[in-house]
Structures are given as C-alpha cells and as structure tokens.
Amino acid sequence: MDIDEILDRIDVLPEASRGSLKRYITEVSYPKNFCLMEADKIIPYIYFIRKGIVRAYASTADNDITFWFGSEGETIVSMKSYVEDKPGYESIELLEDCDLYILETENLKKLFSEDIHIANWGRKFAERELVRTEELIISRQFKTSLERYKDLMINKPDLLKRVQLGHIASYLGITQVSLSRIRAEIK
C-alpha cells in the first residue's frame, strides 16, 4: 500500500499539505522477528505499514501477551511516547519481513504548528488511535474468546493465515489447545 493511500485512510489532505508531510516520510525495511519498538523506551517515530504484519505485546514474568496486530495500511505508534514523550508500554515485533514508512514525531509536531490541515490530520490520527484502543478494551472485557476469534475471521481473515496460532491464542487470552477447540467448533 503506498503512502498516499495510508495517509488518506486517516484524513485527506490538500496537495500542498500532503507534500509537506511526505517530505519527512522515508521508507525502511526490516526482517521478520525484528523488534521495531521496545517497552520502556521512548519511541520518537510513527510507522505506517506498507507491507507485512506486526504484533504489539507486553511481557510478563511468564510470557508475552499479544494485544494488537497491524497489517498493510495501518499505523504503528507508541501513544505514550507520541503524546507525552515518555517510555511506552508495548513492544512491537515484525511477524513477516516488513516494508514501512517512517516519520519522526518531532517533525510531525513541527508541521502541526505550521499547517492547520496537517494539525487536523494529526487530530484525526489520534482520534482513530483512541477509538482503536477503546474497541480493544471493550472486546477484551465483554466478548468471549469465541466472539473475538469470529471478529478476526470477519475483520482480518488474512491474519489467520499469516500469523502463528500461538500469537493468535495469546491475543484471544487462551491456550493453543482452547484455540484448536474453537477452530474445530467453527468448521
């Protein structure tokens, strides 16, 4: 997915504003299993996924708990670093070789003060991240693992083909054995 399509998914910018923003965006590629972001570190970048899948997770003493998957067209950001310039909670691992677009947060904030269209684009970006987080919390609190699995089947069917079952089970908050039962029940 090209950067114009990704930016437009957030909000459509006038051409001059889009050009100003794109001047600060570059392409990077990283291999599968690369740790793009580490918990407890300030991450001064926003990434946009051109190609590939990533997972966000938090580590406990016993294991890693996956709480988000991102794929083509989505944004990767540590909101704690983005908003407060403080260390984030999450780690981000690449589950496939990934092509990403990268934008330094400092440059984006500079553009906010120079261009009202980019400032509004940034507001829309933050609003979408807030809604995404709210949906995640509500899903984890009020839906069963079966309902969350069905949501994945409907909203991100390609994810089920491209991501290890262990990560999906972690995301659903269940064991791989329970995930196997759910998958057998649905067939």
pLDDT along the chain (187 residues), means of 10: 96 97 98 97 97 95 91 96 95 98 97 98 95 90 91 92 94 92 88
Q: What is the pLDDT of residue 72?
A: 96
Domain that holds residue 125: 3-142
- Asked, for residue 77, whether it belongs to a domain, the answer is yes
- Asked, for residue 64, whether it belongs to a domain, the answer is yes
**What six digits make up the tokens of 35?**
């740790």
- Asked, for residue 56, whether it belongs to a domain, the answer is yes
Q: What is the pLDDT of residue 54?
A: 98
Count of domains for the chain: 1
Residue 126's contacts (CB-CB under 8 Å, 6 or more residues apart) are 79, 82, 83
- Asked, for residue 158, whether it belongs to a domain, the answer is no
Q: What is the pLDDT of residue 187?
A: 73
- Asked, for residue 177, whether it belongs to a domain, the answer is no
Q: What is the pLDDT of residue 186?
A: 87
- Asked, for residue 170, whether it belongs to a domain, the answer is no
- Asked, for residue 159, whether it belongs to a domain, the answer is no
What is the rounded distance in angstroms from the CA atom of residue 174 to the CA atom of residue 149?
A: 11
Q: What is the pLDDT of residue 140?
A: 85
- Asked, for residue 74, whether it belongs to a domain, the answer is yes
Residue 54 carries which DSSP code?
E
Tell me the C-alpha to C-alpha distance, in Å, between residue 104 and each of 68, 77, 111, 133, 147: 22, 11, 11, 22, 37
Q: What is the pLDDT of residue 10?
A: 96
